[in-house]
Structure 1
């Protein structure tokens, strides 16, 4: 299996150097391939060149027997298809057996979002007289004001913020950059946090960083830290709602579309590569319209 591991390492280097994928994305590719290698071991298949279409069909059956969601199966097969295409390009195999497999249709799940009343409870939960409270408020305001991903939020540097224009330079997937505007509430929360709370948090560490959001020790905030902060905000708000950082992104997009924003603009703000990724929010807005109709029409 030495050649198998070497091929995987070559592919990882290709994703890092040529494709410039994020570490998060690369981990998903690597996990999908390693899972398939385990399957190969069970089937006594020693080389990637030994894999046939029949083996791929058998592997698909195993994934379904393990009751993986269709979205998960589609992601695994897509990763393996890309991997085998790379092997084909490098002339390590003579054909790509995964090219014959059609991806299962993904479950059409409607993104969960928050209503304005629910948001207000969250915005009133932080104690802004403390350094962490000012940070939490600024974090919440930025996530809702911009709709950026948590990973993008954790990467924000002080120099990325332009208060005169009210924009943040966001470093997205694949090192793609975009400017995202923010409003007056986020502006006020940022000024308060940077002028006071952030300085107090910085004093707790001997290290110096330009990252905007810091943890209670004065270090850079991680995605896991953001989730912990949001969970604490919910507890303080005495709320029964379920919230994740991505729910704020869903809420941002839904509220914009509900208020008449065009989909292309929302796509650009979210940093979506394809419009189809943004179109899922039209299902949410239709659900919202039905809710308004049913609660407002005299003969609904």
Structure 2
């Protein structure tokens, strides 16, 4: 749609009006602004100058508003907001690895579009171009999926906040995703590792504790003597569901409890000395300890949870029970570990030949 500022003589005044052309159809809108056809005094000349400038600004703004609506923007002012500043706002409150993933996505977005970019500039074609850029990188398939998903999530959030009235990414398909390889330790590898010395005994105890309990790092480092509940020959420990944030209780055995360091007090975490997340140096110590046990797999701290899940299934634990132990909301999430065990069974069966 095109907007044109026009003038019409009526009586002793020249009135301003707007012409709207849309698909061959014409509409008009009269502005309450006019000119004196033959200004004689300074007052009339000043009036003409002021009203003409105002009419031109109204016409420009009207044209911008129409263009903004075509891009799905609520209004011009919102549409001129800086998308990169909005990304920074979304990233700021995020924590740990999730924050790191969002920041990495923004690094790639900056490479794709080094200059500032307003919401008005982001249409479906722009979204498709960023998707093509992500696809062209050497990133892993799931990393590509993750970065593009976060970009789409940012636009969805902008839509929810009514910065844009239409999400330009709604009709753009996600990038493909593949089941991530869940690395874990076999029973023999775990036995070997437990016998090796580690440069940081806290990391060793926490990792082995994770292998025996399946608890996440965040739950392990927050565990205190007060949170342990003794029951006959086992203990119950609380952990927080990551998605629902509800508190669940998890049974752990005597051996796992024996790995817990001596606490400073009943309200002090057992693993005081480890940060809220594994530092670069902590991960280096973990890798060196893994290497000492002649294990060549890429093992991170979270692999302790994968090890727990895989070994539990290998030793015959019902998958539904394991799902509850891991705090999974859906059984399908746990079935990934079952696939790993099935693959190992097939591999073992093929080792025997005549």
TM beyond 0.5: yes
The answer to whether the 8 A contact 1:138-1:186 is kept is no
Unaligned ranges ≥5, structure 2: 1-79
Considering fraction of residues, name the structure with more strand.
Answer: 2
SS of the counterpart of 1:99?
Answer: coil
Matched, 1:141 2:220: no
1:98-139 CA distance string (max 9 Å, x none): 221222222334322222111111112248xx9x64x45532
Q: What residue number does 2:87 align with?
A: 8
Aligned length: 270
Instruction: Label 1:62 to 1:8 Cα distance change in 2 as closer, same or farther (>3 A).
Output: closer
Give the alignment's Cα RMSD to 1 decimal: 3.2
CA distance in 2, matches of 1:147, 1:178: 13
Matched, 1:213 2:271: yes
The answer to whether the 8 A contact 1:123-1:140 is kept is no
Instruction: Label 1:291 to 1:83 Cα distance change in 2 as closer, same or farther (>3 A).
Output: same
CA distance in 2, matches of 1:136, 1:87: 41
Offset, 1:79? 1.3
Task: Work out which of the residue numbers 241, 247, 261 in structure 1 matches 2:296.
Answer: 241
SS of the counterpart of 1:252?
Answer: helix
Offset, 1:263? 2.6
SS of the counterpart of 1:167?
Answer: strand
SS of the counterpart of 2:169?
Answer: helix
Kindly report which structure 2 residues correspond to 1:106-185, keeping only aligned pairs within 5 A, or say none. Answer: 106-126=177-197, 133=201, 135-136=202-203, 138-164=205-231, 165-174=234-243, 175-185=245-255
CA distance in 2, matches of 1:29, 1:222: 17
SS of the counterpart of 1:100?
Answer: coil
Please list every run of at least 4 consecutive aligned residues from structure 1 whose deviation after the TM superposition is greater than 6 angstroms.
none
CA distance in 2, matches of 1:64, 1:72: 10
Considering fraction of residues, name the structure with more helix.
Answer: 1
Moved more, 155-164 or 89-98: 155-164
- The structure having more radius of gyration, on CA atoms, is 2
Structure number with the bigger relative contact order (C-alpha 8 A, sep ≥ 6) is 1
CA distance in 2, matches of 1:113, 1:77: 28
Q: What residue number does 1:61 align with?
A: 132
